[in-house]
Structure 1
């Protein structure tokens, strides 16, 4: 399955080009990107030297094209060469602030630079409001950063406000509810955490990670046998391949994604 995803990467890159505003500033830059991305790098897997060679050729022609810097950085993040990748992504942001929220996301999920990610999200929010990057709002990702910094109260405030707003519009996502449950769990509010995990499971019935933390909540409430049954149910779903199902979860473990291989639940 992962091999198939690598083969499909050029198609994903083209979609990304459109999503992130690949329209360059000048006709010359448009030509450079057409030659070196569509006619070059995107014909190969990002694991090949040809990918980087074509992008480097484009940057030699014009080193101010932000999207070329992002495309140079992206494979390195997926190969977990985060320090090097961030140097190139910083160049993308230098030439086009449009990439600021993407850099914030990469700091949050890939590079684990949570304080720096919060700074980028705050700057992006000041410019765009609580917009979205990688399918979720700045406030969700900011809440994840706060959780990773043991700032659970700050995470809880962001998630409560967002879910109240999204509930009114019918937009609430199971990942929002999962991290809300985590924030309640981290602050010792187990009944509220249990309710959040139940809502997450109602939206994604095989959500193994939510079952695990639901079971932990039940244990904290003195319902140990029930909690163990729920955790075992979650492990069954995990063994069938169900977990956090974000696009980038094939490359990086998300915060509070359960490492079931270390759990002796039978």
Structure 2
């Protein structure tokens, strides 16, 4: 599910709505920027027609958040991170709500964990502990904050954000699809193998057929000296990976805690030696 938030600036209070009625704006700058934005998104994303209309929109209102954001996306997808960030920095300067997208993309595409965390922590503070969700909808941004901390080597701080987010969501009977997986891997990194196994088993109840989970279960059982259980889980991971295709991947980049077939096969080979 994709949610579009439209933020209209230019010295007026921030207006956020699912779809902006351009006639609501009292001045021509806002109205024109809004109308040009809607014309731009009628064309294919990144097309010349679309980008030129965004340029016109920003000439009418240089801090019109939706145009700054949407114009930046094709640069991001092409790997032109310089131009993407130039536009996103302007969007964030206009309104901090765009910290969510910038922080998420800094994490996912640039592996800039320090600045990603800074963006998301700022939004976390502004929104009193509720920073929102990632651009793909897969993660509460507190999970991304936890993954940022983990990537910077701050495992205990990472665990604290994981626990805060997951405990909050367990009360609401909703936990992210991969949250227990990442929590389990983090406990494994802290050498809490029994705790990691408990979290990974919770992940199998959330997503029963994910190859990645069984691979990490295999690693944990191996560390505990339970070779038969390790072998069983590595075998299950390979079967899911090769026969059903249930494993984590992304068309743009490697995802957190992603497992490759070669990782699984390397572990299985050790049982034959």
Smaller-chain TM-score bracket? 0.7 to 0.9
What CA distance in whole angstroms lies between the structure 1 residues aligned with 2:77 and 2:155? 28
Give 1:31 shift.
3.9
**Equivalent position of 1:139 in the other structure:** 142
**Equivalent position of 2:211 in the other structure:** 208
Give 1:206 shift.
1.6
What CA distance in whole angstroms lies between the structure 1 residues aligned with 2:262 and 2:78? 22
Give 1:262 shift.
5.5
- Residue 151 of structure 1 pairs with residue 154 of structure 2: yes
Against the structure 1 CA distance between its residues 263 and 54, is the aligned structure 2 distance closer, same or farther, given a 3 Å change threshold? farther
Against the structure 1 CA distance between its residues 157 and 51, is the aligned structure 2 distance closer, same or farther, given a 3 Å change threshold? same
Secondary structure, in 3 states, of the residue corresponding to 2:188?
A: helix
Against the structure 1 CA distance between its residues 231 and 42, is the aligned structure 2 distance closer, same or farther, given a 3 Å change threshold? farther
Against the structure 1 CA distance between its residues 52 and 238, is the aligned structure 2 distance closer, same or farther, given a 3 Å change threshold? farther
Please say which of residues 37-46 and 140-149 is displaced more in the overlay: 37-46
Give 1:161 shift.
2.6
**Equivalent position of 2:111 in the other structure:** 112
Render the CA deviation track for 1:164-205: whole Å, top value 9, x for unaligned.
Answer: 232222122232211110110110000110111110111111
Cα root mean square deviation, aligned: 2.6
**Equivalent position of 2:195 in the other structure:** 192
- Structure ranking higher in helix proportion: 1
Q: Structure 1: where are the runs of 5+ without partners?
A: 1-10
Q: Which has the larger radius of gyration?
A: 2
Render the CA deviation track for 1:74-109: whole Å, top value 9, x for unaligned.
Answer: 222222322331121111111121111221111112
For normalisation by structure 1, the TM-score amounts to 0.82
What CA distance in whole angstroms lies between the structure 1 residues aligned with 2:81 and 2:261? 25
Give 1:45 shift.
3.6
**Equivalent position of 1:69 in the other structure:** 68
Please say which of residues 112-121 and 253-262 is displaced more in the overlay: 253-262
The number of residue pairs the alignment matches comes to: 249
For normalisation by structure 2, the TM-score amounts to 0.81
